Amino acid sequence: MATTNAAGTRYSSAPSFRGLTDEYPASVATPQTGIFALGTMSHAHLELDERRGADARELVRLVASLREPRTTIGGVNLVAGFRPELWASVAPGASPLRLVGFNEPIVGADGYTLPATQHDVVVWLAGAAYDVVFDVSRGVVSALAAHATLAHEMVGWPYHRDLDLTGFIDGTENPTLVEATEAAIVEPGLPGEGGSVLLLQQWEHDAAPWESLPVAQQEQVIGRRKLEGDELDPKPATSHVARTDQDQFGQIFRRNIGYGTLTRHGTIFVGFSRDRERLDAMLDSMSARGGGQRDRLTDFARAVTGAYYFVPSSEALATFAAEPLD
């Protein structure tokens, strides 16, 4: 049976979801491995919108079937996620409670705004070089074309190994790979186990004013030494690391990457968390929504996109791939 929402989107009814439910318990729920596959030199983040009138269940099935043999993705890691409401419509009870998309902009005390540009599907591809990532990206868009259209794409590349385009080391306070599971993955027994909440944002840097700041002042903005990466003691309350302090907000796992050209470039923020709350709290703190002081980094970088996706476990996703096609 299918139902249609106000936008004319047709959703299949959900009773045949054979995922991580009491009725059909899965023996394991492992995260999509690409989340933790560090060291790749070329990235593409594709965000797609469901076609008007498309069937959400068919779309999820196509996404779940993107791996071989349908598409040749040799050598490229693929991580797939969904607008939380879309995933919940086909897999009820298989994502964190109350998880919704980035549906409203975040407006800070002085009007500083983090935009909401939510899409329906995200596919993150990472490989050794852009030629293979490009080929796989085209294959993905073509495989999904009947049900979804490409709405936004970003191509990312690491800048001098582990720097972001401010010239600072990015990722110093990331949890180790052992700790990252606890920070980023929904724990066993909870709805959505083995899955992860992804915050994906494109941040464009304002290079000229940033580069005209003396290094000592840049360090006050970030809250760390530029060359060594050591945290300042004391660090300004407005510094980026003070506004996102994981001791206060909880740990997340970041896979940020640089993007862009000489004229427009910046940071693709790729943050994985076991829940949305800690990511929201960091964004509130950075933008000073609800009071406090705005993150100084926001004077030199501005978010131009923002979306939350649920990245289901490999098993939950594979459940759909295993379904026979209509």
Residues 158-187 interacting with ligand HEM (rule: CB under 6 A): 164, 166, 168-173
CB-nearer residue toward ligand HEM: 87 or 249: 249
CB-nearer residue toward ligand HEM: 134 or 159: 159
Shortest CB 152 distance to ligand HEM, Å = 17
Told to check if 282 binds ligand HEM by CB under 6 A, we report yes
Told to check if 112 binds ligand HEM by CB under 6 A, we report no
Pattern 241-280, ligand HEM, x by CB under 6 A = x--xxx-----x--------------x-x-x-------x-
Give the type of residue at 134: F
Shortest CB 225 distance to ligand HEM, Å = 10
Shortest CB 70 distance to ligand HEM, Å = 34
Told to check if 240 binds ligand HEM by CB under 6 A, we report yes
How many chain residues touch ligand HEM (CB under 6 A)?
Answer: 26
> Cβ contacts of residue 56 below 8 Å, gap of 6+?
9, 10, 11, 12, 50, 86, 89, 90
> DSSP secondary structure string, 192-237?
TTT-EEEEEEEEEE-HHHHHHS-HHHHHHHHTB-TTT-PBPSS--T
- Provide the β-strand partners of residue 258: 157, 267
CB-nearer residue toward ligand HEM: 19 or 271: 271
One residue of 94, 222, 257, 270 binding ligand HEM per CB under 6 A: 222
Spatial distance between the Cα atoms of 23 and 94, rounded to a whole number of angstroms:
13
**Cis-peptide, bond into residue 92, ω within 30° of zero:** no
Told to check if 203 binds ligand HEM by CB under 6 A, we report yes
Told to check if 320 binds ligand HEM by CB under 6 A, we report no
Residue 77: C-alpha distances to residues 133, 144, 192, 300 (Å): 9, 18, 22, 32
Q: H helices of the chain, where?
A: 56-64, 84-90, 130-144, 177-184, 207-212, 215-222, 240-243, 246-249, 277-287, 314-321
One residue of 80, 301, 307, 311 binding ligand HEM per CB under 6 A: 301
Distance of CA 154 to the CA centre of its chain: 12
| Residues 286 and 298: beta-carbon distance below 8 Å | yes
CB-nearer residue toward ligand HEM: 43 or 224: 224
Shortest CB 100 distance to ligand HEM, Å = 17
Angle, to 10 degrees, between the axis of helix 56-64 and the axis of helix 314-321?
110
Shortest CB 119 distance to ligand HEM, Å = 18
Token pair 């098993």 is found at 315
Q: List interacting residues with ligand HEM (CB under 6 A).
A: 164, 166, 168-173, 199, 201, 203, 222, 224, 240-241, 244-246, 252, 267, 269, 271, 279, 282-283, 301
